[in-house]
């Protein structure tokens, strides 16, 4: 899987060192990822339809994908803490900054349950192809993810979200051994 810092929704810089991931600690309500992706093409004029933006979708094999996963386990109040991710797009408002955002895709609503749905590092919360913008909406120049946290606040956790060309989908065991086979197992051909 190739990661591109220019396609990271969750790019942050701590102490001069770039890192990837938005902390969800003490998060409540609705807030946006730390980075807004600008798909603008320098030098192209904006059209009334929101033109001047790169088209990231819809492609066929390979299609760009949105990948949002937990890189650190999430903790909250069991049964009351929920999390939903929303991909939003916005056209240029005419001065090089985002206009009004609109929803492009919504994840399921995840409820914190110990050891399930939320709470496990590596859990993928949004894993879809970059969608085409909705009918009747302008072409988005800007993309962002929005977090909607309901109920009690999240007490621990980091989420990473990027646009990627391909995902690393090899199944691994809890011991980080790919495909779940422990060392020393020989498979006869």
Residue 14: pLDDT above 60? no
- Between 11-15, 73-77, 92-96, 119-123, the lowest mean confidence (pLDDT) is in 11-15
Residue keyed to tokens 């051909």: 189
List of long-range contacts for 175-181, beta carbons under 8 Å, 24+ apart: none
H/E/C letters for each residue in 151-187? EEEECEEEEEEEEECCCCCCCECCCCCECCCCCCCCC
More confident residue, 74 or 48: 74
- Candidate CATH numbers 2.60.120.1110, 3.30.565.10, 3.40.50.410, 1.10.287.3510; the one for domain 5-164: 2.60.120.1110
Total-model pTM:
0.77
- pLDDT exceeds cutoff 50 at 16: no
- In angstroms, the CA 128 to CA 69 distance is 12
Q: Tell me: the pLDDT tens digits for 66-75?
A: 888 888 877 7
pLDDT value at residue 164: 83
pLDDT band at 87 (very low <50, low <70, confident <90, very high): very high
Q: What is the pLDDT of residues 113-147, one digit of tens each?
A: 765 556 677 788 888 888 888 888 888 889 999 98
Residue 43: the pLDDT is 57
Task: Choose the most confident range, by mean pLDDT, from 147-151, 172-176, 177-181.
Answer: 147-151
149, β-bridge pairs:
29, 83
Contacts of 103-107 with CB under 8 Å at 24 or more apart are 103/134, 104/131, 104/133, 104/134, 104/140, 104/143, 105/66, 105/131, 107/68
Tokens in use for 133? 């913008």
CA–CA separation, 174 vs 2, rounded Å? 23
């Amino acid at each position: 899987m190739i990661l591109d810092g220019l396609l990271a929704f969750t790019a942050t810089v701590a102490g001069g060192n770039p890192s990837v991931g938005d902390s969800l600690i003490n998060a409540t309500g609705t807030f946006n990822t730390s980075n807004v992706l600008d798909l603008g093409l320098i030098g192209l004029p904006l059209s009334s339809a929101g033109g001047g933006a790169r088209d990231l979708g819809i492609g066929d094999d390979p299609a760009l994908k949105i990948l949002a996963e937990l890189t650190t386990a999430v903790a909250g109040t069991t049964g009351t803490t929920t999390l939903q991710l929303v991909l939003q797009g916005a056209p240029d408002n005419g001065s090089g900054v985002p206009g009004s955002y609109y929803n492009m895709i919504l994840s399921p609503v995840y409820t914190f349950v110990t050891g399930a749905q939320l709470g496990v590092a590596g859990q993928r919360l949004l894993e879809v192809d970059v969608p085409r913008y909705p009918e009747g909406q302008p072409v988005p120049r800007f993309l962002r993810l929005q977090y909607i946290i309901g109920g009690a606040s999240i007490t621990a956790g980091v989420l990473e979200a990027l646009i990627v060309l391909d995902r690393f989908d090899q199944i691994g065991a809890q011991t980080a051994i790919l495909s779940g086979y422990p060392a020393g197992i020989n498979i006869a051909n």
